[in-house]
Amino acid sequence: MRRAPIRQSLALATLIAAASYGAAHAEHWVKFADGANGIEWSYDGDYTYKDRETGRIVVMQAISKPSANLMPGGPTKGVGSVYAVDCGKKNIIPMGSYKPSATFSIANGWRSETPKKLGGPEDEALLVAVCATAAGAPVK
């Protein structure tokens, strides 16, 4: 009859491990702009980091529309893109985009791409939001 406590302990340990794994890999979406027709723009605070080679802030952003039950999400779950942002020069390098129906990939040569001007109010809001936290971003 001592097997039940062992099974319960193993089940509890498995649940704790699964919860810890999920929390460690959770997306933390931070809304930074409102768009037309109820669209919202957010970036993933857990994915954002400073690129060691370029000093740019790499950020994943997603579009959502809560009224249509479309929430922000990463590749395979949402619609968005990844940018490398230069806070000083106020420009971006598009690294890749994603949607559930397409495979997400980042080109190996993104660092040598020509930076682009900001594409509009959403890009400007992203730059302001991300650059405000850039000093605390991890370096990778």
pLDDT at 115 over 80: yes
Residue 59: which of 127, 135, 136 has the closest Cα? 127
For residue 131, give both structure tokens. 């650059």
Any domain includes 123? yes
Mean pLDDT of 104-113: 93
pLDDT at 135 over 60: yes
Other CB atoms within 10 A of residue 73 CB: 20
The total number of structural domains that make up the chain: 1
Could you tell me the pLDDT band of residue 77, with boundaries at 50, 70 and 90?
A: very high
Mean pLDDT of 43-69: 96
Any domain includes 67? yes
What does pLDDT average to over the chain? 85
pLDDT at 21 over 60: no
Mean pLDDT of 48-62: 97
Residue 74 makes CB contacts below 8 A (sequence gap 6+) with: 27, 44, 47, 60, 62, 80, 98
Domain with 61, as residue range(s), is 27-136
Any domain includes 17? no
